[in-house]
A and B are shown apart, each in its own frame.
Chain A
């Protein structure tokens, strides 16, 4: 019997590619023989741009690298500058940043939960998760004036003191109940289980070999959370979510559990912020800001895996070279391996479970 191979072009315009991703699949019947991701439809040259801008000019643009979790990238750039100029953050600034990062993480995971279920064909969870995400975005809008591109972290601190803490309290009071509701309709749903359980199994060795980090790695049984060694999170008590199932379902469950853990971190941050006096901070003067010559490196646990920033400075007011490390880029690269041997109708479900976002891939 001869095998007739079919080449199928998936994307770049497909609702479940979360941006513009093109997958070139080779099929035997409905079985995938090989997968070649083609990226670059959203390339904006973030790294080239950095070489032509001063640090303060570049800061507002970095939220766009991952528009669903912009805080993490501004935090990285601020951290590079603070590290180079040896500025230490006060405890209050640290706690404010942690609280906003975690709120941003929850917003990002909520969007993922909704859109993942939409990929699988269930439309209603999308509306439920967006309802709760809206509360978080409203809070950000009140605080920073922006719903997605906050530009709230500045070199040496935050743009203004935190306020409207009651709104945050309301969010974390409501959210755990709402997550229970999601779990009631999703986690043990037989259709959902059939689409995710045992699908897209990512074992530990493959995950490490493909440089997968973040929730995807922890759902494969590796205990690696960069928040544990992050100076920002010092003094916070939280648990690292590690699951052993290794499949799409585990990646879903890990994100749900992580949202609860983030609520816990926000709760601790709120307790602290309610008691401390008004913010006093000494910001770094962004005008004529020059970093001493040398290499600087910072990393943080972002919702889509480890995010890192590397800056090589030659002593001038612009970076000589700036490089971003994003989790999504490696998740997309993993599709080469993960989709082989699976069926075409599972391809979307498996790709969706990895939670990549294309602006982060293309930079």
Chain B
């Protein structure tokens, strides 16, 4: 893609290695790259807990016409814009991130616990998650 053109339109962004780091307007950026370039598959959304309650979301898009990957990264607190109206596959990714990181996606109605039980407390892939759930200690001395 044409990085200079992109930077002219969204001036609040920078290039870090091969990923584009944006600060805001996630939905607008994703819509822009799908409409103006050939990125037609959202391969996945990657979430990384950066500590201090900050989570990095990396949107990985692929263009098979140009055989090119595109990574768009954004730091969010506990809320992010949903992009299910652009890519339906994001339903799956956003649900997984909600389940494991506790990020709310505004605009996605389908968020629910996916892998974890419905009444599970906490979000396991966060770095501050404490692994001492009493329900897991079946074999402990509380048998009696």
Contacts and interface: CB of A to CB of B under 8 A. Distances in A.
Given A40-B114, A48-B124, A208 B44 contact: no
Interface residues of A, number: 36
Question: Is chain B's binding surface mostly helix, strand, loop or mixed?
Answer: mixed
Interface residues of B, number: 29
A55 B19 CA distance: 25
A337 B89 CA distance: 11
B81 interface: no
Contacts, number: 72
A330 B48 contact: no
A241 B68 CA distance: 21
B119 interface: no
Nearest to A330: B89
A35 interface: no
Given A43-B115, A295-B19, A330-B89, A308 B43 contact: yes
Contact of B41 (A213, A329, A336, A363): A213
B43 A325 contact: yes
Contacts of A10: none
B40 A48 contact: no
Contact of B92 (A299, A330, A362): A330
Nearest to B87: A209
A135 to B, nearest CB: 35
Given A229-B67, A330-B89, A211 B41 contact: yes
Given A39-B114, A333-B92, A362-B115, A321 B48 contact: yes
Interface of B: 17, 19, 40-44, 46-49, 58, 60, 64, 67, 69, 87-89, 91-92, 96, 100, 113-116, 124-125
Interface of A: 39-40, 43, 45, 47-48, 206, 208-211, 213, 222-224, 229, 294-295, 297, 299, 306, 308, 310, 312, 320-321, 323, 325, 329-330, 332-333, 336-337, 362-363
